[in-house]
Homo-oligomer: A and B are copies of this chain.
């Protein structure tokens, strides 16, 4: 396949919008669809084409990317009379970049294959900035041949692009990713509140913690903002809460004990219950401060 191939992008939000724009920039012919027409308009201004329906967007596409909030949204777009499966060309590759349940990913991929399409689950990590910078990490589940064929498309939006196993595996790795990210935010929040309680210089502490075996991306990118009480998203608590539902349910299904993951899910749920669902996931800090009787600085 050459860069002349036609790509459809369904879902032009915080992540899908910049991904579609980067595909245009890389030389692909991109047709976009979104429920709110303003977002389609933005893609057209960036040099893409607009479509009025899923059916219209996918009709001519070699590769179809979906980037939607949750499992039911993906099911709605993919199945049914007006859906992707009904209207995509035979042999087209459907790439689901959404974060959804691994079992739903497997079931939808099977439906798509039965209808003559090919399917990859390809959830991403890296957030809005990663999407804008075309620097996403992409964890892909599906067939090697389909992965190889769609690789130039993924390289236009991501940096670390890895085939991790058969259909559903991308979602499984994304679930593991979300467990580690939320848990690490929790650990860093506990460490910071502990250091604040002992009047330690948190800037100096973050520096030395980041230099040793405790080092992680949350310390590098979020700890200073957490101390300052700045929680502009980024990735919202509401969405991370959804993702922790996916990982706890998938772990339960497989009979795997994730005691720290399960507690993290409870803590993120409690942060949401306190009314912080629209803040960045690092706002887990606010819960730990409240549980410790400490007001944010």
Contact = CB atoms under 8 A, between A and B. Distances in A.
Interface of A: 102, 125-127, 130, 137-139, 159-160, 162-165, 168-169, 172-173, 175-177, 179-181, 183-184, 186-188, 190-195, 197-201, 204-205, 207-209, 211-219, 221, 247, 250-251, 254-261, 263-264, 267, 288, 291-294
A162 B197 contact: no
Nearest to A266: B259
Contacts of A139: 205, 208
A256 B292 contact: yes
Nearest to A164: B204
A208 B292 contact: no
19 contacts: A125-B208, A125-B211, A137-B212, A139-B205, A160-B211, A162-B205, A163-B201, A172-B194, A176-B191, A176-B195, A177-B209, A177-B213, A183-B184, A186-B259, A190-B257, A190-B258, A216-B217, A255-B292, A257-B288
Given A137-B212, A197-B251, A255-B292, 18 more contacts: A126-B212, A138-B208, A139-B208, A160-B208, A163-B204, A164-B205, A169-B201, A173-B209, A176-B195, A180-B216, A180-B219, A183-B183, A190-B259, A193-B257, A194-B247, A194-B256, A216-B216, A259-B263
Contacts of A260: 183, 186-187, 190, 260, 263-264, 267
A187 B185 CA distance: 11
Contact of A102 (B165, B198, B214): B198
- Give 7 closest A-B pairs by Cβ, nearest first: A125-B212, A216-B216, A160-B211, A257-B291, A137-B212, A176-B191, A180-B214
B194 A180 contact: no
A212 B130 CA distance: 9
Contacts of A138: 208
Contacts of A183: 183-184, 186-187, 260
B162 A204 contact: yes
Contacts of A179: 187, 190-191, 194
A164 B200 contact: yes
B208 A164 contact: yes
Nearest to A190: B258
Contact of A214 (B125, B254, B288, B294): B125
A52 to B, nearest CB: 35
A29 to B, nearest CB: 28
